[in-house]
Amino acid sequence: MRRRLLLFLVTAMTTVAVAQPAPWTVGVIVSRTGPAAASGTLQAHAAERFADTLGRSGVFGTPIRIDVRDDAGDPARAASLATELANAGAAVVVCCTTAAATARVGAVLESAGVPFVALTDLDLTHTTWTFGLAPSDRTRVTAIAVDAAGEGKVSLALMTLATPFGDAAVDAFERALADAGRTIAGEARYPADAPVLTPEALWIATRQPGAVVVWGLPLDLPRAIDALRRRGYEGLVYARPDALPVAQMVRARIAGAPLHGDDLWTGVRAPFAPAVLAGRLPIDHPNHAAVAAFVGRTLAGNPTAASAAERAVLALIDDALVWLLAAKEQVAALGLDDDVATRRQALRDALIGLPPLPLAAGTYDATDGDRRAARWQGLVVVELGPPTF
Query: pLDDT tens string for the chain (389 positions)?
Result: 434 433 333 443 444 444 556 788 999 999 999 999 999 999 999 999 999 887 656 666 678 899 999 999 999 999 999 999 999 999 999 999 999 999 999 999 999 999 999 999 988 988 999 999 999 999 999 999 999 999 999 899 999 999 999 999 999 999 999 988 888 988 999 998 888 888 888 889 888 899 999 999 988 898 899 999 888 888 899 999 988 875 444 554 444 444 444 577 888 999 999 999 888 888 999 999 999 999 999 999 999 899 888 999 999 999 999 999 999 988 887 776 568 999 999 999 999 999 999 999 999 999 988 999 999 999 999 888 765 44
Sign of CA dihedral 45, 51, 54, 60: positive
Residues forming beta bridges with residue 86, ordered by sequence position: none
Residue closest to 313 by CA, chosen among 272, 282, 283: 272
For the chain, residues classed under CATH 3.40.50.2300 are 2-132+317-376, 137-243
Domain 137-243: give its CATH code.
3.40.50.2300
pTM of the prediction? Answer: 0.87
CA triplet 72, 73, 75: central angle to 5 degrees? 110
| CB-CB neighbours of 18 under 10 Å | 7
Alpha carbon distance 199, 1 (integer Å) = 97
At residue 14, the pLDDT reads 41
Q: How far apart are CA 302 and CA 319, in angstroms?
A: 18
List the beta strands (DSSP E) in the chain: 24-30, 64-70, 92-95, 116-118, 130-132, 155-161, 183-190, 211-215, 236-239, 250-251, 269-272, 357-358, 363-364, 374-375, 380-384
CATH superfamily of 2-132+317-376: Response regulator (3.40.50.2300)
